[in-house]
Amino acid sequence: MTVTALLVGCGQDQRPGTFTFTSPGGQSRVFYDPPVTRGLVPPIAGEDVLRPGVDIGTASFPGQVVVLNIWGSWCGPCRAETPELEAAARATAPLGVQFLGIDVRDDRDAAADFLRDRGVSYPSIYDPPGRTLLALRGFPRNVVPSTIVLDREGRVAAVFLTAVLTADIEPTIRRIATEPRSPAGGGP
């Protein structure tokens, strides 16, 4: 059984407007609502798994909902969730949603084969040591797979610290994709 938490803030020790991960009571699914309480994440970027020498990152998708998925080709649950994420990515793309993988603790050839063999349509950052995750203050870098949904303004709206099914994540993504932008226009 999975428990969902509704948070009113993103942590009391953070600077205003920045994201610091907190998981009350060890929850595996955390939703940051209402939107005005969400913390902003600095741009996350790195070299593309399939295109060595080409950087890709959250700033490549301004104004879009960005779904970050932390994965590794060695990870059994990642193998199971990949077709689910691909289905959600295809279904929500018309809403201005972009998926972006972050491949950790992996070999580049194994990661590239994983993406090609499974027909993954979205890019992934190749980050064996998981350094890109340092932008997510307090985030547990050892939890693989995990999925983080950023709203159109680059703020963390939801975190899934477990493998997901399309039915788990697509409704959350759709809800976030249809939220009105803040009057200040924020965003990355």
Question: Which two structure tokens, joined as six digits, stand for 19?
Answer: 């994201």
For the cut 90, the answer to whether the pLDDT of residue 26 exceeds it is no
Q: 63, 67, 61: which is closest to 84 by C-alpha?
A: 67
For the cut 50, the answer to whether the pLDDT of residue 5 exceeds it is no
- 115's enclosing H/E stretch is helix 108-117
Q: What ranges in 5-51 are assigned the alpha helix state H?
A: none
Q: What is the mean pLDDT of residues 130-150?
A: 92
| pLDDT band of 140, cuts 50, 70, 90 | confident
pTM for the whole thing? 0.88
- Residue 167 has phi, psi (to 5 degrees) of -65, -25
Specify the pLDDT at position 12.
33
| pLDDT band of 114, cuts 50, 70, 90 | very high
